C-alpha cells in the first residue's frame, strides 16, 4: 500500500502486519522514517521531500501507479531498495537503494 501527499511531498509505503506482529517504533534518519514491527521487520517507510530524494518533479510522483520496497537487516545496517512506477516515466521504474548504519540492533 502506498500514498503520495503532493502538498507536503511525502511518499508513504507500507506492508501489512502478520497476525502476531505489532508496531514497535520508528527509526528516523534525516528525511526517512522507518516503521519497525515487534518482530524486527521493516513494515513501512515514509520519505519526506521525495521529489528531491529521487530527483524527479512532483508531476511524475502524482502519477505513481505502484510503489514497493524491500528491506534487509544486518547486524550493523538496514539496506532498503525502493521501487516506484509512474505513468509519466519512459522506463516505467525508479529504483533507489539506501544503506542505514545501525548503532545497535533494532530488536
pLDDT digits (tens, 9 = 90+) for 41-53: 999 999 999 999 9
Label residue 107 by pLDDT band (50, 70, 90): low
User: Would the CA dihedral through 36, 40, 42, 43 be positive or negative?
Assistant: negative
Q: How far apart are CA 95 and CA 17, in angstroms?
A: 24
pLDDT in tens, 9-45: 999 999 999 999 999 999 999 999 999 999 989 999 9
Q: What pLDDT, on the 0 to 100 scale, is given for residue 3?
A: 96
* Percentage of the chain lying above the pLDDT 70 cut: 98
Which is higher by pLDDT, 75 or 66? 66
Contact assessment for residue 106 and residue 27, using Cβ atoms and an 8 Å cutoff: yes
Label residue 92 by pLDDT band (50, 70, 90): confident
Inter-CA distances, 77 with 16, 37, 105, 106, Å? 23, 16, 9, 10
Q: How far apart are CA 91 and CA 83, in angstroms?
A: 12
pTM of the model: 0.89
Q: How far apart are CA 42 and CA 27, in angstroms?
A: 10
Amino acid at each position: 500500500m502506498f500514498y503520495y501527499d503532493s502538498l507536503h511531498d511525502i511518499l508513504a509505503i507500507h506492508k501489512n502486519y502478520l497476525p502476531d506482529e505489532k508496531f514497535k517504533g520508528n527509526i528516523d534518519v534525516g528525511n526517512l522514517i522507518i516503521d519497525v514491527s515487534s518482530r524486527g521487520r521493516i513494515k513501512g517507510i515514509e520519505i519526506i521531500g521525495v521529489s528531491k530524494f529521487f530527483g524527479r518533479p512532483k508531476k511524475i510522483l502524482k502519477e505513481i501507479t505502484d510503489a514497493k520496497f524491500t528491506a534487509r537487516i544486518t547486524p550493523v545496517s538496514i539496506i532498503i531498495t525502493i521501487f516506484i512506477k509512474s505513468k509519466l516515466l519512459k522506463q516505467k521504474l525508479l529504483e533507489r537503494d539506501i544503506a542505514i548504519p545501525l548503532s545497535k540492533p533494532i530488536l
